[in-house]
Amino acid sequence: MENREVLTLLPKKRSGILRLVFSRIGLVACLLAVEIIVLLGFYLWFADYFKWFATVQGIFSLIMVFYLFNSTMDYSAKLTWMFMIMLMPVPATIFLWFTQRNIGHRVLRQRMEEMIAATKTSLAQDPETFARQELIDSGTDDLCRYLNRSGCFPVYEHTQVKFFGSGEEKYEVMLTELEKAEKFIWLEYFIIDEGLMWGSILKILADKAKAGVDVRVMYDGMCEISTLNAKYPKKLQELGIRCKPFAEIQPFISSHYNYRDHRKILVIDGKTGFTGGVNLADEYINHIERFGHWKDTAVMLKGEAVQSLSLMFLQMWNMTEEQVSWEGIEIREPAENDGYVIPYCDFPLDADKVGESVYMDVLYRAKSYVHIMTPYLILDNELETALKYAAERGVDVKLILPGIPDKKLAYSLAKTHYRSLTASGIKIYEYTPGFVHAKVFVSDDEKAVVGTINLDYRSLYHHFECACYMYKTSCIPDIEKDFQATLQECREVTAETIKKEKLFYKLAGILMKTIAPLM
C-alpha cells in the first residue's frame, strides 16, 4: 500500500479557522449571514409597523399546524415540528413553510423526474429471470416490482458478486480493476480527500484519461467545505478528467442543501462496478486513524447488473448536462450465474422511501435471523416497529454499532433506542476497536443488502443513496462470516450497561430526541 505512486493537486491544507476564512466557503458563509441579518431586520421592521402582526402570525401558525396534521410527513417529524412551534412559534412556522415550499430545489426535482422518466424502460427485465419460482417463493419478485415504481431496477442473474469486509480489501482490488479500463471510468462519491487512497487512484485516472479513456468524477458539493475546494473540478479537467460537484455550495439560503449525494459508485467499462460504504479518503483504508479502527464494507459486481450502476451514475450526471447522453448503459456483459442481484437507488425528492422499505422487507420476511451493521441508529416509528416485531416473533436480530463515535450527538440519539429495542429481544453490540461505517443487512443465509444507506433520517429521507440487494449469491456466507468476526470484537449492550451509561450521552439523548428528524 505504501509504494503506490500518488498524485496530489492541492497545497497543504490550512488548519482549522484559517482554512475556513481563506476558502470560498468563508465568503459564502459571510454572504449567508448577511442574507439572514437582512431577512431578520425586515421581519423586525414589519413587526414594529404592523400592529396586527401578532394576530396574523397566530393565524399563520394555526394554518401551519393544520398543514402538519394533514401532510404525509413522518409522524416523528410532525412531533418535532410541533415541539418547535410550541417553543418558538414565529421562527419555527416560517422555517416550516420555507422547507415545505422547496425553495431552491424545485429545478433539481423537476430535472430528476425527467431523468427517471427518460430511463424508465432503459433496462429491460428478463422475463425468464423474473418468473423463477424461487424468486416468487422468497418475495424477491414483489420487491423488484416495488423498486420499479421509482426507477428502473431489474433483477439480474448473470452477475458475479464479491464482498469486501474492509476498505483496504476494496482499495487493492479497485486499483487493479482501474488499470484494466479501456473505454470509461465513472466515479460518484460522497467524500473525496487527497492522500494515499485518492492520490493513487487519481494517478491511474490521469494516465487513463491521457490514453483516451472517458474519465468522469462526481462528488458531493459539501467536499468544498470539508476536503477539497471550488477550483478542484478545473484542476481535474486540466488532466483530461471531466468533473463536477453535486449541489455545490452557493451564497443563498436554500433547502437544496438538505439533499446530499451520499452514494458511492464506481463503474469501469460497463463490466465492473463497486458500491458500499467506502469513500475515497485515507481513514476508509486505515492509512490514517480517525475514531479508532475504521470498519467498512463494499461489493464488486461483474456482469449484467453493472448496467444498473451505469444508469444510476448517468441519471445524476445528466441532471446538469445540456446535452444528455445515455451511452454506456447499453453494455450488457454477462457473467456466470451467481444468484440474483438488484442494484437500486433512493431519490429523496419523490414519495417513495425506497431504502427504508427494502430494509423493512428483509425484516418482515426473515425466518431465522437478521444481522445488521450501521454507523447510526436514528429510527422512525415504522422501522423501529419492524425491528421489534422481527425479534418478538422469534427472529434473531443483532445490530453492530460503533464503539467510538464520529458524531457524539448522533451517538447519544442511537442510545435512546437501546432500552426499547433490547426489551423486545434485539441484541445490540458496540465495536470496541473503533468506528463502524458499514451498512449491511444479512438474513437467513440467503439475503443481503450492502450499500450506502444508514439507519438514520438523513439516509432514509434526505440523501441520494444506493445499495445492492442480493438473493442466494455465493458471497452471502462471506457477509455473515464477516459479521460474526466483527461480533467477536464487540461489547454487548445490556440493561446494566444502559443503566451505567455516561451522563453526557443520557442528557444529550434526551435533548436531541426532540429534534431527531432534523439530524
- CATH code for position 456: 3.30.870.10
What is the full DSSP assignment across 444-498? TTTEEEEES--BSHIIIIISBEEEEEEES-TTHHHHHHHHHHHHTTEEE--HHHH
Q: Can you give the pLDDT of all 519 residues of the chain as single tens digits?
A: 557 899 999 887 644 444 444 444 454 456 556 556 765 666 666 666 555 666 777 777 777 777 777 777 777 777 777 777 777 776 777 777 766 666 666 777 888 889 999 999 999 999 999 999 999 999 999 999 999 887 899 999 999 999 999 999 999 999 999 999 999 999 999 999 999 999 999 999 999 999 999 999 999 988 877 889 889 999 999 999 999 998 776 654 555 557 899 999 999 999 999 999 999 999 999 999 999 999 999 999 999 999 999 999 999 999 989 899 999 999 988 899 899 999 999 998 887 899 999 999 999 999 999 999 999 999 999 999 999 999 999 999 999 999 999 999 999 999 999 999 999 999 999 999 999 999 999 999 999 999 999 999 999 988 999 999 999 999 999 999 999 999 999 999 999 999 999 999 999 998 888 877 766
* The three grid cell numbers given for residue 473, joined into one nine-digit string: 449469491
d(CA 353, CA 369): 24
Measured on CA atoms in the order 170, 172, 176, 181, is the torsion positive or negative? Answer: positive
d(CA 147, CA 245): 27
**Residue 505 and residue 363 share a domain:** yes
d(CA 315, CA 310): 9
What confidence score (pLDDT) does residue 71 get? 77
> Which of 278, 313, 339 is the C-terminal boundary of a domain?
339
Which residues, 6+ apart, have CB-to-CB distance to 406 below 8 Å? 290, 291, 375, 435
- On whether residue 182 sits in a domain, the answer given is yes
- On whether residue 501 sits in a domain, the answer given is yes
What confidence score (pLDDT) does residue 86 get? 75
Residue in the structure block whose three cell numbers are 479508532: 292
Do residues 474 and 161 make contact, with C-beta atoms less than 8 angstroms apart? yes
* The three grid cell numbers given for residue 187, joined into one nine-digit string: 466515479
What is the full DSSP assignment across 173-241? HHHHHHHT-SSEEEEEES-B-TTHHHHHHHHHHHHHHHTT-EEEEEEETTHHHHT--TTHHHHHHTTT-
**Is residue 502 exposed (0-12), middle (13-18) or buried (19+ Cβ within 10 Å)?**
exposed
Which residues in 317-445 belong to E strands, given as ranges? 340-346, 369-373, 396-402, 427-431, 434-436, 440-443
Ramachandran class of 195: left when φ > 0, alpha when ψ lies in -120 to 50, beta otherwise:
left
**Residue 465 and residue 403 share a domain:** yes
Do residues 468 and 163 make contact, with C-beta atoms less than 8 angstroms apart? no
**Residue 398 and residue 316 share a domain:** no
φ and ψ of 156, to 5 deg: -115, 150
What confidence score (pLDDT) does residue 248 get? 75
**Amino acid sitting at position 289:** E
- On whether residue 487 sits in a domain, the answer given is yes
Query: Can you give the residue range of the structural domain that contains 485?
Result: 354-518
d(CA 385, CA 379): 9
Nearest to 32 by CA among 334, 191, 195, 257: 257
d(CA 139, CA 146): 11
d(CA 392, CA 381): 16
> How many C-alpha atoms does 354 have within 13 Å on its Cβ side?
31
Report the SS3 class of residue 21.
helix
Do residues 399 and 374 make contact, with C-beta atoms less than 8 angstroms apart? yes
d(CA 41, CA 33): 12
pTM over 0.85: yes
Nearest to 509 by CA among 420, 439, 424, 429: 420
> Which of 54, 84, 100 is the C-terminal boundary of a domain?
100
**Residue 313 and residue 378 share a domain:** no
What confidence score (pLDDT) does residue 16 get? 47
Residue in the structure block whose three cell numbers are 456483459: 333
**Residue 220 and residue 116 share a domain:** yes
Nearest to 196 by CA among 179, 171, 178: 171
**Residue 318 and residue 374 share a domain:** no
The number of distinct structural domains making up the chain is 3
- On whether residue 8 sits in a domain, the answer given is no
What confidence score (pLDDT) does residue 58 get? 73
d(CA 384, CA 362): 14
Which residues, 6+ apart, have CB-to-CB distance to 42 below 8 Å? none
**Which alpha helices (DSSP H) does 239-301 contain, by range?**
none
d(CA 266, CA 273): 5
- On whether residue 280 sits in a domain, the answer given is yes
- On whether residue 384 sits in a domain, the answer given is yes
Residue 300's H or E segment, with its range, is strand 298-303
Nearest to 453 by CA among 510, 380, 376, 382: 376
Residue 512's H or E segment, with its range, is helix 503-513
Do residues 391 and 424 make contact, with C-beta atoms less than 8 angstroms apart? yes
**Residue 212 and residue 192 share a domain:** yes
Report the SS3 class of residue 243.
strand
- On whether residue 9 sits in a domain, the answer given is no
Do residues 20 and 33 make contact, with C-beta atoms less than 8 angstroms apart? no
**Residue 271 and residue 387 share a domain:** no
**Residue 329 and residue 265 share a domain:** yes
Which residues, 6+ apart, have CB-to-CB distance to 41 below 8 Å? none
- Rg of the chain over all Cα atoms, to the nearest angstrom: 23
**Residue 379 and residue 315 share a domain:** no
* DSSP letter assigned to residue 376: -
Crossing angle of the two packed helices 106-118 and 306-317, in degrees rounded to 10 = 140
- On whether residue 139 sits in a domain, the answer given is no
**Residue 295 and residue 172 share a domain:** yes
Measured on CA atoms in the order 47, 48, 50, 52, is the torsion positive or negative? Answer: positive
